[in-house]
């Protein structure tokens, strides 16, 4: 927490700090100038850090996050060509002179022009810094500037009075409020609307036209402003006017994708930067994700390419495009085979789609990825899911037991393998069962049940028991069959005897000759009822009954015919 310090503390202490919410920065700067202090003022806010070096109360240097070096701004302002700057930088390597001195010595520009440009740049940036200052501050006295300042700027005898800078900053404060209504952040990109032209009432028409030429959507506001290092504030102000007048509009993700596509062949790094800015605007833009993946692969950033493809796969899955999602996942896995998140996603998709072999392959790879850094709990969870897919895979059971041991659950691992071993013995899979029991002995060497089971498997005791059990079952079944046949034979014998007796009775009583067909039918039905489960009652008795019924019907027809005459 920054602490508020009275202004007179500057006179009494070499270091003072506080919060700009409680201390006016203009008063602090004026106090530094009045007392001709030499030292560094550090300003820290959400936008970053800036440091201003004062020499005898005047501003001498500035360094801030994102501030371009002096020589780069000379190129941006047109005072120095890029080719001559590169030649000077090449000559400067290993020497004691800075690049700016070499440029002056080579008569690329005069010392007076360099001094004037540096003063313009410094005054512009400090005025903007004062106008937008907020956050915490610290002023530390000291003749030597801290590291981090631009060596080229430090080589010049810059000494800007504070008062004019404060007046300019005060003028700009109200303007910044209006500017931020139309240009909220420096990371935005703008493009000029087709056929639009700036109004003649604009503060500087010529400069506005130069600014419009830079608004092609490929540069951020900060990058555009860097093209006019000594007129940055005017650049922001005119840009806000252009947006307000609907001459310029914010670039869309589609705009950035189109620009990036045009740069892909010549400047892939710049193209990727534009793609990433587009993704900040629309993280789920399919074309930008595809471009990000392709550019990352071209720039050999496998992690970035895999991340883009992973997000693309997620979007495809949400839209029901499973085949496209699988292609993206497979490509991403090939790029970063050690990324557990990718394999987890691929595994989940394979399980959901019922692709058993793919699920087992991805799952086992995922287990290896989790176990390598010691994530045994995660590996155990995956193995438990795999066993629900293939409960008969002995390798999965062994791996699960080992994971449980690594998780400190050795007792649970042994119980699980014992249950599985008994199940396999019941299925007569003695070879696999022996592997599980050996794993138990690896975990718990003194386990009696596992030792005894291995011994019994080796001596084929389980096999002999199974064979003996089979023989007993065969004997029992054979006995049951013989007994059933005997009972069936006895039943048939009794039925046959009853059939013979009934036939004999009908013959003795001469029932057929006397036309007592109904009485004979009753006798045969009685036999069928008493011996209904015999073959005789099922096949032979019905034949006798049918014959008697036919005779009875014939007799009835004859009697009816005689009575009619």
Residue 303, token pair as written in the block: 């992690």
First to last CA, the chain: 138
Can you tell me the distance from the alpha carbon of 178 to that of 241, in angstroms, rounded to the nearest whole number?
9
C-alpha distances (whole Å) from 404 to each of 72, 150, 380, 451 are 61, 59, 7, 21
Which residues lie across from 141 on neighbouring strands? Answer: 39
Return phi, psi of residue 296, to 5°. -65, -40
Return phi, psi of residue 234, to 5°. -60, -35
pLDDT, position 6: 44
The crossing angle, in degrees rounded to 10, of helices 517-530 and 461-508 is 160
Instruction: Name the strand (E) or helix (H) holding 139.
Output: strand 136-141
Among 485, 500, 490, which Cα is nearest to 541's? 500
C-alpha distances (whole Å) from 552 to each of 26, 209, 546 are 138, 127, 10
pLDDT, position 161: 93
Among 457, 456, 454, which Cα is nearest to 445's? 454
pLDDT, position 9: 42
The crossing angle, in degrees rounded to 10, of helices 162-182 and 232-244 is 20
> Within its chain, how far is the Cα of 456 from the centroid?
50
Can you tell me the distance from the alpha carbon of 276 to that of 299, in angstroms, rounded to the nearest whole number?
14
Question: Cβ neighbours of residue 82 under 8 Å, at least 6 residues apart?
Answer: 75
pLDDT, position 564: 53
pLDDT, position 563: 59
Residue 539, token pair as written in the block: 């096949």
DSSP 8-state code for residue 77:
T
Cβ atoms of 312 and 285 within 8 Å: the answer is no
Tell me the H-state helices in 247-375: 253-263, 268-281, 286-298, 302-318, 322-335, 340-353, 356-371
Instruction: Name the strand (E) or helix (H) holding 239.
Output: helix 232-244
Cβ atoms of 506 and 512 within 8 Å: the answer is yes
pLDDT, position 113: 92
Q: What is the pLDDT along the chain (565 residues), one digit of tens a residue?
A: 334 444 444 444 468 888 888 888 888 898 899 989 999 999 998 878 999 999 999 999 999 988 889 998 898 888 899 999 999 888 888 778 899 999 998 898 999 999 999 999 999 889 888 888 888 999 998 888 878 899 999 999 999 999 999 888 888 888 888 888 999 988 899 999 988 887 776 667 888 888 999 998 999 998 898 888 778 888 999 999 999 989 999 999 999 999 999 998 899 999 999 999 999 989 989 899 999 999 998 988 988 888 899 888 888 888 888 888 888 888 888 888 888 888 888 888 888 888 899 999 999 999 999 988 889 999 999 999 999 999 989 899 999 999 999 999 999 999 999 999 888 888 888 888 889 989 999 999 988 988 888 888 877 777 777 778 878 888 899 889 999 888 888 888 998 898 899 888 888 888 888 888 888 889 889 988 888 888 888 888 898 889 888 888 888 887 777 655 5
Which residues lie across from 51 on neighbouring strands? Answer: 42, 63
The burial of 252, by beta-carbon neighbours within 10 Å (0-12 exposed, 13-18 middle, 19 or more buried), is given as middle
Question: Cβ neighbours of residue 74 under 8 Å, at least 6 residues apart?
Answer: 80, 85, 103, 109, 114, 117
Among 179, 150, 331, which Cα is nearest to 244's? 179
DSSP 8-state code for residue 160:
B
Q: Is 252 left (phi over 0), alpha (psi -120 to 50) or beta?
A: beta
Cβ atoms of 432 and 394 within 8 Å: the answer is yes
Domains, the chain, in order of start with CATH, read: 9-177 (no CATH), 183-190+199-251 (no CATH), 491-564 (1.20.58)
The residue ranges of DSSP E strands in 15-76, in sequence order, are: 15-19, 39-45, 48-55, 58-64
Cβ atoms of 159 and 38 within 8 Å: the answer is no
The crossing angle, in degrees rounded to 10, of helices 541-564 and 517-530 is 160
């Amino acid at each position: 927490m920054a602490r508020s310090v009275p202004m007179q503390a500057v006179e009494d202490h070499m270091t003072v700090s506080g919060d700009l919410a409680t201390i006016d920065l203009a008063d602090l700067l004026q106090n530094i100038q009045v007392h001709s202090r030499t030292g560094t003022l550090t300003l820290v806010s959400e936008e970053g850090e800036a440091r201003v070096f004062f020499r005898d109360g005047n501003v001498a240097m500035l360094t801030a996050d994102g501030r371009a070096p002096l020589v780069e701004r000379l190129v941006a302002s047109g005072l120095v060509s890029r080719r001559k700057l590169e030649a000077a930088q090449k000559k400067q390597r290993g020497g004691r002179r800075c690049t700016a001195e070499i440029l002056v010595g080579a008569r690329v520009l005069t010392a007076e022009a360099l001094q004037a440009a540096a003063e313009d740049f410094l005054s512009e940036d400090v005025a903007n810094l004062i106008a937008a200052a907020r956050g915490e501050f610290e002023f530390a006295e000291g003749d030597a500037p801290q590291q981090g300042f631009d060596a080229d700027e430090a080589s010049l005898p810059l000494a800007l009075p504070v008062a004019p800078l404060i007046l300019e900053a005060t003028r700009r404060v109200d303007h910044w409020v209006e500017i931020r209504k139309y240009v909220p952040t420096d990371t935005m990109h703008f493009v000029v609307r087709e056929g639009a032209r700036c109004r003649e009432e604009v503060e500087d028409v010529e400069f506005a036209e130069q600014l419009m030429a830079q608004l092609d959507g490929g540069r951020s506001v900060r990058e555009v402003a860097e093209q006019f290092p000594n007129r940055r504030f005017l650049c922001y102000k005119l840009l806000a006017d252009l947006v307000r007048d609907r001459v310029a509009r914010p670039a869309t993700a589609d705009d950035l994708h189109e620009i990036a596509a045009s740069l892909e062949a010549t400047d892939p790094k710049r193209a990727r930067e534009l793609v990433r800015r587009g993704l900040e605007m629309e993280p789920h833009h399919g074309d930008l994700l595809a471009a990000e993946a392709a550019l990352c692969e071209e720039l050999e950033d496998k992690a970035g390419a895999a991340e883009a493809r992973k997000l693309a796969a997620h979007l495809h899955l949400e839209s029901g495009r499973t085949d496209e999602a699988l292609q993206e996942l497979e490509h991403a896995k090939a790029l970063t085979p050690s990324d557990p998140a990718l394999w987890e996603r691929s595994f989940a998709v394979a399980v959901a789609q019922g692709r058993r072999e793919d699920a087992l392959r991805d799952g086992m790879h995922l287990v290896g990825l989790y176990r390598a850094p010691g994530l045994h709990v995660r590996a155990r969870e995956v193995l438990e899911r795999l066993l629900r897919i293939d409960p008969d895979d002995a390798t999965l059971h062994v791996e699960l037991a080992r994971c449980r041991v690594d998780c400190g659950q050795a007792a649970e691992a042994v119980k699980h393998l014992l249950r599985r071993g008994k199940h396999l013995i019941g299925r007569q899979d003695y070879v696999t069962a022996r592997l599980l029991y050996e794993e138990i002995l690896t975990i718990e060497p003194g386990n009696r049940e596992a030792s005894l089971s291995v011994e019994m498997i080796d001596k084929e005791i389980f096999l002999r028991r199974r064979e003996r059990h089979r023989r007993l079952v065969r004997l029992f079944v054979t006995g049951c069959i013989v007994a059933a046949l005997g009972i069936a034979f006895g039943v048939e014998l009794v039925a046959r005897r009853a059939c013979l007796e009934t036939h004999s009775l009908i013959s003795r009583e001469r029932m057929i000759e006397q036309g007592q067909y109904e009485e004979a039918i009753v006798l045969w039905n009685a036999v069928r009822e008493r011996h209904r489960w015999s073959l005789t009652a099922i096949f032979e008795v019905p034949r006798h009954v049918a014959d008697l019924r036919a005779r009875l019907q014939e007799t009835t027809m004859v009697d009816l015919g005689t009575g009619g005459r």
